Amino acid sequence: MIIKYNERKMQPIKKKTIAIIILVLFSFPGLFAFENNFFTDDSKYDIFNSQVSLYSITNNPAFFKITFNENITKYSLTGSKKNNFIYREYSPKQEQNNNLEIITSKNLNSNSTIASVITYNQDIKFDMKHSLEKDFYSHYFSFSDTTTGDTKFAGPQLQFLFNHSLNDKIYLGIKGNYGIEQGLKDIYTQCETIARNFDVSIGGGFQSTDKSTVIGGFIRYSDRQDSYEAVKEYMDALVRTYVGYHIYRPEYSRSSNHKTDSQKGINYSLQFYKKIKNLKIILNGNYGYTTNNIETGSTSKPTNVAYWQREGNNYSSDFIYDFGDGKSSIRIGYDYKKTDDWAKNPEYNTVVIENEEIKNRINFGLFMTPNMLMKFSINGNIENVNQNYKEHINMFEYTSDHINFGTDLYFQMQLTDVLSLDINGGYGKFKPHFTWEIDSFNEINIGTGIERYFRFGFVKIEGNYTKYSPSDGEKNINEYQISLSLRK
């Protein structure tokens, strides 16, 4: 049920494998890479040998050279399509993503390494009802209208990392990310979206002479600006700003309605690494917060409709045992993450939304290289999620204490001197966001890739299929992905 503050008639208004590589290198969040994650969320697998690495766990740019020390250049083109045969009210019925990436890592000398990722991403949302946001449900104060149409988002992203060792003990690093993205709805209100994001991490680390102990830390600052403009036309259309997921406030009729969303955040992180014979221990701690200011209305007289703050802690511990021959290892890890959100209406200085979420997660993995021709890994996780979400305007409350789990397999075989094949697959079960009104999803994915060496480099083609099946329905979400890459 929708509760309206005030209803007015308005005038019409214009307006993986490759993804995994990026995740490992620069905390790059895949196809939804334009978001600034609250805490950086890297893949925990080394792109060269699928084993856990110090950098991929900690994200400290000072540790990049300790983990990656070879030159690499990679060009990749990825396309994916998602058919949402089941979807939420303000989600698209179909999605398409095209992604072009150039990845480089180069040792400038024995002390310095520089790396970069240049990306151009195009994301199209088909038949998206009402929402003017890229993801309506990821924001407590979403912008919407009363039409259904297609929206295209596109833009470049530049990421860089510079790592320098003062000597064999002290390492320094800086990691940055800057991107611009534009979106346009194909029918009136023809809302135009312009988003800019920026974040930078500065870190340092100390390694003991025998390389058995490493300590370090970094600070990360993030800044994101979103601007929306929905304009007037010849037909009636309503522009609305949602407060939570159940209540909206209609925007007044004017030549154009604007929304601006300014987000700033900072994270602090400390890391500790210790090697005791064949055992590696990695401890990682993070604290951070973000603030959001949301304004709507006209450009000349915007109204501050909301202030939203998130604070959180994230701690992890990983224990990796190498069986001695360097060909087999086992990992057990634990992650704890707690986030507290609260949002208020500045006009009345009252809290309108609260959300607390606690996650306890156990990770485990086994990596094996039986011989020079084969590699194999199996990984899994089980997670307990406790959530308490409240909307105080209409007295809505949601509480949940549930379990998610997942597992995946990876196998690679060298077929000939110049040809290799890899196969991966996985299964998981998770409870989605409460706005789905679905108890749980079963996730199944399977993929394969074949890589051949030519004189100009390694050419690889990969395909992946993922299916999300609700526990209480027959309709599914199907996603297909194919990529072509050149590595040299």
pTM of this structure: 0.87
Q: Under 8 Å CB-to-CB from 300, ≥6 apart: which residues? A: none
My answer on whether omega of the bond before 189 falls inside 30° of 0, hence cis, is yes
DSSP strand E in 251-301: where?
A: 256-276, 279-297
Q: How many CB atoms lie within 10 A of CB 5?
A: 12
Cα dihedral 32, 34, 38, 40 in deg (nearest 10): 80
The residue written with tokens 């905390």 in the block is: 27
Of 20, 58, 83, 80, which is closest to residue 410 (Cα–Cα)? Answer: 20
CA distances from 246 to 1, 73, 288, 373, 397 (A): 7, 48, 29, 56, 11
Instruction: Output the pLDDT for position 24.
Output: 35
Of 228, 208, 288, 275, which is closest to residue 36 (Cα–Cα)? Answer: 288
Distance CA 357, CA 334 (A): 17
Residues in the chain: 488
Of 238, 227, 215, which is closest to residue 294 (Cα–Cα)? Answer: 227
Contact 284, 273 (CB under 8 A): no
Which structure tokens are listed for 264? 């700033």
Q: From first to last of the 488 residues of the chain, give the pLDDT tens digit.
A: 333 333 333 333 333 433 333 333 333 333 334 566 766 654 433 433 445 678 878 889 999 888 877 888 999 999 999 999 999 999 999 999 999 999 888 999 999 999 988 999 999 999 999 999 999 999 999 999 999 999 999 999 998 999 999 998 999 999 999 999 999 999 989 999 999 999 999 999 999 999 999 999 999 999 999 999 999 775 678 899 999 999 999 998 888 999 999 999 999 999 999 999 999 999 999 999 999 999 999 888 899 999 999 999 999 999 999 987 778 999 999 999 999 999 999 888 899 999 999 999 999 999 998 888 999 999 999 999 999 999 998 899 999 999 999 999 999 999 999 999 999 999 999 999 999 999 999 999 999 999 999 999 999 999 999 999 998 878 999 999 999 999 98
Q: Give the sign of the dihedral formed by CA 466, CA 470, CA 473, CA 477.
A: negative
Instruction: Output the pLDDT for position 363.
Output: 94
275 Ramachandran zone, left/alpha/beta (phi>0; psi -120 to 50): beta
Using DSSP bridges, classify how beta strands 94-107 and 170-185 pair: parallel, antiparallel or unpaired.
unpaired
The 8-class DSSP code of residue 66 comes to: H
The 8-class DSSP code of residue 431 comes to: -
Instruction: Output the pLDDT for position 25.
Output: 38
Q: How many CB atoms lie within 10 A of CB 288?
A: 21
All domains of the chain, ordered by start, with CATH? 2-487 (2.40.170)
